[in-house]
Amino acid sequence: MDNITYDEQGNARSFSGPGAVDVFAMAVLASGLRMYAATGMRPNRAYTPKAMMAAAARHTGLTFKARDYMGAVEALTARVQAEKARIAAQGE
């Protein structure tokens, strides 16, 4: 079973279970793509723009145009919110 725990301010603090860990991975990927789109800086050497877009496609199941970084960020963010809602409803 997936579980996400939050602190008093509503920030996610722990992710347990494969679905919850995927939520974390998608959130980090969206952040990296957002940073690359804004500054041109890569999160690390291995996470090239092409690799980040391929990971976004794997996580969302969508196909993105080349260099549509913000489109990928929007799709990942929507998926993160949907998965967080699903996990919260599952825990109730």
For residue 91, name the pLDDT band (cuts at 50, 70, 90). Answer: confident
Report strand pairing: 3-6 vs 12-16.
antiparallel
Has residue 1 been placed in a domain? Answer: no
Has residue 54 been placed in a domain? Answer: yes
Does residue 66 carry a pLDDT above 80? yes
CB atoms closer than 10 angstroms to residue 42: 15
Instruction: Indicate the DSSP class of residue 14.
Output: E
Q: Within its chain, how far is the Cα of 35 from the centroid?
A: 13
**What does each C-alpha distance from 77 to 8, 45, 46, 83 come to in angstroms?**
22, 23, 22, 10
Condensed to tens digits (0 to 9), the pLDDT of residues 16-49 reads 999 999 999 999 999 999 999 999 999 999 899 9
CA-CA-CA-CA torsion for 18, 19, 21, 24, nearest 10 degrees?
170
For residue 64, the model assigns a pLDDT of 96
Q: What is the count of structural domains for the chain?
A: 1
For residue 11, name the pLDDT band (cuts at 50, 70, 90). Answer: very high
Q: Of all helices (H) and strands (E), which one includes residue 3?
A: strand 3-6
* Token pair belonging to 1: 């079973």
68-84: average pLDDT: 97
For residue 60, the model assigns a pLDDT of 97
Q: Which domain holds residue 52?
A: 12-91
